[in-house]
Amino acid sequence: MAKITVSKLKKMKQEGEKITSLTAYDASFSSLFEQQGIHALLVGDSMGMVLQGGSDTLAVTNQDIAYHTRCVRAGAKDTFVIADMPFMTYSNPADACHNAAELMRAGANMVKLEGGEWLYPAIESLTQQGIPVCGHLGLTPQSVHVFGGFKIQGRTNEAAEKMIHDAKALEAAGAQLLVLECIPSELAKAITEAVSIPTIGIGAGKDTDGQILVMHDLVGISAGYIPKFSKNFLLEAGSMPEAVKKYIDDVQSGQFPAPEHEFN
Q: Report pLDDT digits (tens) over 141-163.
A: 888 767 666 678 999 999 999 99
138 sits in which H/E element = strand 133-138
Picking from 167, 259, 256, the residue whose alpha carbon sits closest to that of residue 210 is 256
Q: What is the pLDDT of residue 259?
A: 94
The active-site residue, picked from 34, 102, 171, 181, is 181
Q: What is the pLDDT of residue 226?
A: 78
Q: What is the pLDDT of residue 144?
A: 73
Domain presence at residue 80: yes
Residue 14 has pLDDT above 80, yes or no: yes
Residue 24 has pLDDT above 70, yes or no: yes
Q: How far apart are CA 169 and CA 163, in angstroms?
A: 10
Please indicate if the annotation marks 245 as binding a ligand. no
State the total domains in the chain: 1
Q: What is the pLDDT of residue 264?
A: 86
Q: What is the pLDDT of residues 127-136, one digit of tens each?
A: 999 999 999 9
Please indicate if the annotation marks 217 as binding a ligand. no
Domain presence at residue 1: no
Q: How far apart are CA 226 and CA 218, in angstroms?
A: 9
Please indicate if the annotation marks 112 as binding a ligand. yes
Please indicate if the annotation marks 84 as binding a ligand. yes
CATH number for the domain that contains residue 134: 3.20.20.60
- Where in the sequence is the domain holding 159, given as residue range(s)? 6-261
**Catalytic (active site) residue 181:** yes
For residue 12, the tally of other CB atoms under 10 A from its CB is 18
Residue 189 has pLDDT above 80, yes or no: yes
- Whole-number average pLDDT of the chain: 95
Please indicate if the annotation marks 78 as binding a ligand. no
- How many percent of the chain have pLDDT more than 90? 89
Q: What is the pLDDT of residue 141?
A: 81
Domain presence at residue 108: yes
Q: What is the pLDDT of residues 159-187, one digit of tens each?
A: 999 999 999 999 999 999 999 999 999 99
Residue 5 has pLDDT above 70, yes or no: yes
Q: Which of 55-64, 72-81, 222-231 has the lowest mean pLDDT?
A: 222-231
